[in-house]
Structure 1
Amino acid sequence: MPALNLAICWKSFLYYLIESQSAGNLIDLNLLGIFREYTPEIICCNSILLNASNSSNYLDSSILSTKRQLLLEKNNFISYLTGIIEGYGSIEYALVPTTERSSKNKLNYPSIQIAFHLKDLPLALLIQKNLGYGSLQRTKGLNVYILYINDKKGILNLVKLLNGNMKTPKIHSLYKLIDWLNNKDTNLNLTKLPLNNDSLINSAWLSGMIESDGHFSVRTTMKGKYPKIECKFELSQRQKDHLANSNEPFLANIAEFLKVSIKNIRENTTHPQYRLRTMSLETNLLLVNYLNVYPLFGSKFLDYNDWKEILNLFNPRFKNSQYNIDKVLDLKKEMNDNRTIFTWNHLNKFYLTT
């Protein structure tokens, strides 16, 4: 991804921390102590002081009991996290050692690594806080933070969360890790659960997948008597993963849910891809209806909000006035890689799991 202007990003984030604490007290000001030059190199779980007391205000507590509400929140968090992990680039696979010791005679241990773009550090912090384990580290030379889960307890807990919730071929990497854990401790006897084939409408899994690898864009054509404006959402994946398993089945499931088709792209490259794309008002509204129930939480939420605002202009009363056209162009120029201001108020609604 193109390099992010770190100074702008982190100054904006720190400005929000200082000026907006009354709006939900999202992150304790003690957190400021861990930032160095706006780009922390490593953040350990025990160093994080987060306040999530207001992180779940969108469920009707008058209908659901607190216990049921927390269970629903936890289930949504698990499916959302699973979607992020299964997204391309978020975690390639569980790193499982093939030998007991390294060439230097050190014991080998497995590792699970979840990647976040630099601008999504606030989201990474909340996920780390909800998990309660792992260390977050900046990757040198890249706009990436990696959440490393290396200790046995953390790996075992995450395996139990993912087991039975995965929808992609990355389940084979999970199985490999389960085999390793069972071999190390015969008392575990972990069962390898099959792919989750539940309807996408029943979980936040697709939100996590979109968070990882979805893309919202707006195409504008100002030539001609009537300007042309198209709102598009795209999701692309390699046709085959690193173990040569096809990604087509789970993408076909998403395509069917959104009433779109799958296309082959980059066929002449080393790693050809599948792509699905929403373009019509009908297919875009299907996505909006889903995200109204299972929202996004990273910086992509901001792009989605601008995208949705433009989409809302497509109604019978829409007029190609200069005001409307200017509004669309202003929103478009702040989306995706062009965004310089990041607000995180929406994280007050992040899933509460404890």
Structure 2
Amino acid sequence: MFIVPALNLAICWKLSEMTQSAGNFLDFNLIRILRDYTPEFICYNFLICVSLQERKVRNNHSVSNLYLSKNLGSYLAGFIEGNGTIIVPTKILSNKDKLNFPSIQIFFNLKDLPLALIIQKELGFGSLLRKKGVNGYILLINNYEELILLVNLIRHYLRTPKINSLNLLIDWFKNNNLNIRNVPLILNKDLLINDGWLSGFIEAKGQFLVRTTNKNISNTKYPKIECKFELIQGQKNHNGKSNLNYLENIADLLQTKVKAIKMNSPQSQFRVRTTNLNGNINLENYLKNYPLFSSKYLDYIDWQKVLEIFKKCEHKQKEGIDKIISIKQQMNDRRTIFSWIHLNNFYNLDK
């Protein structure tokens, strides 16, 4: 088992009860001392990481391979649309007379470094950076060949207005005589249940919630307990495009509605939140086919345990309430131990 305890200003990486088999992501050829990935320091028994300076695009990552990688492509498309930035320069030189390069940057929460590393390993490229003032890591792709490979991997699966930025990037390649298919991208209108886009988007924006009325809920005569999933987005993206359409598709899958919130704020938002058992079950069925891989997967597993209690109508009984309280105490920001064994099942280019 791969276990990572989370500490406030330091992350202590340890492997215990670890088994290794052919094809396992824990590749001992990649064992290195990780130097700049945590804010303070790293303790290690064995350390799994990627030597960024030695990273090369793998020979078998041909465009044809990438087109066949629906699971990985759709998952990354959702992740990038939720937690990524596509930067297309408008000038050749910056104000400091430095060359401007296009890039795709993917943000990972501090505790999700193992996922960032496995994505970098599977892609075979990108630089993983820890920037000051940012509570996480950025996977930076700015090499032309690597950008083209990534664009070809995700191009069929985008569902948000961020597709406009990707089209601008393709135009940039065309204008600079770089080899890429100059076919305008269109939004993916396929059903959400047919690919892993929503799983990637949930990694970026979703939250699994278990709510209770008060600390003494087990002694309350009529306790209020909720098992919900929630996703919040700004009503418009940074280019002023509405996020409503794709959020309505998510809401339909979850048998709920999109609600406008913070209407009097400059940062008005849309919220999708499950409101009934069937909506939660729909989400559960989807995630069986297209699982999560970040630390959010661990919250989902706990949330799923609470959902089972709701399915059995035990959430109003004292024993069920006590179980829910116990589960809630280790979820989300309260979690201190992180197991990453589920990364052994991460998508690869052959899936």
- Give the TM-score normalised by the residue count of structure 1: 0.84
| CA drift at 1:28 | 3.6
2:144 to 124, 146, 152: 152
CA distance in 2 between counterparts of 1:238 and 1:317 reads: 35
Match of residue 59 from structure 2: none
CA distance in 1 between counterparts of 2:8 and 2:68 reads: 33
Q: Which residue identity lines up with residue 80 of structure 2 in the other structure?
A: I
CA distance in 1 between counterparts of 2:229 and 2:143 reads: 38
Q: Which residue identity lines up with residue 242 of structure 2 in the other structure?
A: S
Pair 1:265 & 2:261 matched: yes
Cα deviations by residue, 1:60-82 (Å, 9 ceiling, x for unpaired):
xxxxxxxxxx9998211110000
Pair 1:20 & 2:12 matched: no
CA distance 1:322–1:26, shift in 2 (3 Å):
farther
CA distance 1:325–1:32, shift in 2 (3 Å):
farther
Conserved in 1, the CA contact under 8 Å of 2:253 and 2:279?
no
Pair 1:224 & 2:220 matched: yes
| CA drift at 1:43 | 6.0
Q: Which residue identity lines up with residue 20 of structure 1 in the other structure?
A: E
- Give the TM-score normalised by the residue count of structure 2: 0.84
| CA drift at 1:35 | 2.0
Q: What are the within-5 Å matches in structure 2 for residues 1-354 of structure 1?
A: 5-6=7-8, 10-11=11-12, 14-15=13-14, 17=15, 19-22=16-19, 26-29=25-28, 31=30, 33-36=32-35, 39=38, 44-45=51-52, 74-87=69-82, 90-92=83-85, 94-185=86-177, 188-221=180-213, 222=217, 224-316=220-312, 318=314, 320-354=316-350
Conserved in 2, the CA contact under 8 Å of 1:232 and 1:278?
yes
Q: Which residue identity lines up with residue 192 of structure 2 in the other structure?
A: L
Conserved in 1, the CA contact under 8 Å of 2:31 and 2:50?
no
Cα deviations by residue, 1:281-308 (Å, 9 ceiling, x for unpaired):
1111010011011110100000000011
Cα deviations by residue, 1:49-69 (Å, 9 ceiling, x for unpaired):
9xxxxxxxxxxxxxxxxxxxx
CA distance 1:38–1:208, shift in 2 (3 Å):
closer
The CA RMSD measured in Å over matched residues stands at: 2.6
Conserved in 2, the CA contact under 8 Å of 1:44 and 1:135?
no
Cα deviations by residue, 1:127-147 (Å, 9 ceiling, x for unpaired):
111111110011213321000
Three-state SS of the structure 1 residue aligned to 2:337 is coil
Three-state SS of the structure 2 residue aligned to 1:113 is strand
| CA drift at 1:187 | 5.5
Flag structure 1 segments of 5+ consecutive residues without an equivalent: 50-69
Conserved in 2, the CA contact under 8 Å of 1:234 and 1:276?
yes
CA distance in 2 between counterparts of 1:129 and 1:317 reads: 44
| CA drift at 1:26 | 3.9
CA distance 1:312–1:141, shift in 2 (3 Å):
same
Structure with more contact order per residue of length (Cα contacts < 8 Å, sep ≥ 6): 1
| CA drift at 1:105 | 3.1
Equivalent pairs, count: 323
CA distance 1:320–1:269, shift in 2 (3 Å):
closer
Choose 38-47 or 213-222, whichever is displaced more.
38-47
CA distance in 1 between counterparts of 2:315 and 2:184 reads: 56
Three-state SS of the structure 1 residue aligned to 2:270 is strand
| CA drift at 1:20 | 3.0
Choose 114-123 or 189-198, whichever is displaced more.
189-198
Flag structure 2 segments of 5+ consecutive residues without an equivalent: 1-5, 41-48, 57-64
Conserved in 2, the CA contact under 8 Å of 1:34 and 1:43?
no
CA distance in 2 between counterparts of 1:32 and 1:339 reads: 27
Three-state SS of the structure 2 residue aligned to 1:33 is coil
Choose 161-170 or 281-290, whichever is displaced more.
161-170
Conserved in 2, the CA contact under 8 Å of 1:73 and 1:352?
no
